[in-house]
Structure 1
Amino acid sequence: MRDPNNVFHLAIPARDLDETYDFYVTKLGCKLARRYADRITLDFFGDQVVCHLSDHFDRDVNMYPRHFGITFRDKRQFDNLYKLAKQRELPFFQDLSKRFQGMIEEHEMFFLRDPSNNLLEFKYYYDDRMMY
């Protein structure tokens, strides 16, 4: 079981740290924790994402099997992030949609694409028992 004092860590490739900073910090609102010549470390909604400078990033992407993101418990927070992404004209890989309509696992979701083609999924389940 997760201890709320612990933080999940994810490392992803970044082709350019300035554009990565602009996307995650300036536009998406994440907090910069550290910056070095070869990486930036972010507070990504309470967890740690490290963007490592790399020439090895996906040039052609699909949602599956590789993406990451946040599942919100609070619908207002989900809606507010969606509105922010629209207002700041963040690049959508897939706009707002619903999956599994009429089923207990029905949820809303959208995907953003960062400057290095990493896909970020944000979702909200109507029944929070379906979050895992």
Structure 2
Amino acid sequence: MQKITPFHVAVPVHNLDECRTFYRDVLGCEEGRSAEQWVDFNFFGHQFVIHYKPKSEEEDAHTNPVDGKNVPVPHYGVVLPWETFQTFSKDLIEKGIDFVIEPYIRFKGEPGEQATMFFLDPAGNALEFKAFKNMGQLFAK
């Protein structure tokens, strides 16, 4: 299997301080460089940046059906090792995260079976975390 290269993603937030606290204290991401308008985080080994953007008119939330659930679009996240997902999801439940889709097993018994969960950050950005017992199933058809 090919070595995984860390990705970089930047997301807009209208409340930099609240989101900084969320990613650092709730999700446990180590804070990196920052300036008045942005903050870098180590997002499970990837570079994740929140950038201040003034709040605009609310867009209607969009979802697509996947495995009988309404998945928010757009969303971002990472694929975690199975045990890390289990520990992380339990920690989020204990912290009272309001899930859009609570942790569950998607595509049970099918190719690509995975654990997944969705929730929003304080700026309304949708996050998905998932895990495969067999990482070889990541792109299974």
Same fold by TM-score, threshold 0.5 exceeded? yes
> Could you tell me the TM-score, scaled by structure 1's length?
0.86
The runs of 5 or more residues in structure 1 that have no matched partner are: none
The SS at the match of 1:81 is: helix
The SS at the match of 2:90 is: helix
* CA-based RMSD: 2.1
CA distance in 2, matches of 1:14, 1:34: 17
Q: Which amino acid aligns with 2:77?
A: G
* Misfit runs of 4+, over 6 Å: none
Aligned to 1:48: 47
| 1:103-125 Cα shifts (integer Å, max 9, x gaps) | 12111110121011111111112
Of 71, 75, 82, which aligns to 2:79? 71
CA distance in 2, matches of 1:125, 1:115: 27
Aligned to 1:31: 30
Relative to structure 1, is the Cα distance of residues 59 and 88 closer, same or farther in structure 2, using a 3 angstrom cutoff? farther
| 1:77-125 Cα shifts (integer Å, max 9, x gaps) | 1111001111112232210122212212111110121011111111112
Structure 1 position 107 matched with structure 2 position 114: yes
Structure 1 position 98 matched with structure 2 position 105: yes
Relative to structure 1, is the Cα distance of residues 85 and 59 closer, same or farther in structure 2, using a 3 angstrom cutoff? farther
> Could you tell me the TM-score, scaled by structure 2's length?
0.81
Q: Which amino acid aligns with 2:78?
A: I
The SS at the match of 1:109 is: strand
Offset at 1:59? 4.8
Give the number of the structure whose residues are more often strand, by fraction.
2
Between 1 and 2, higher relative CO (CA 8 Å, sep ≥ 6) is seen in 1
**How many residues are matched?**
130
CA distance in 2, matches of 1:25, 1:2: 30
Of 86, 98, 103, which aligns to 2:93? 86
The SS at the match of 2:73 is: coil
Among the aligned pairs, what percent are the same residue?
Answer: 29
Offset at 1:55? 2.2
Structure 1 position 129 matched with structure 2 position 136: yes
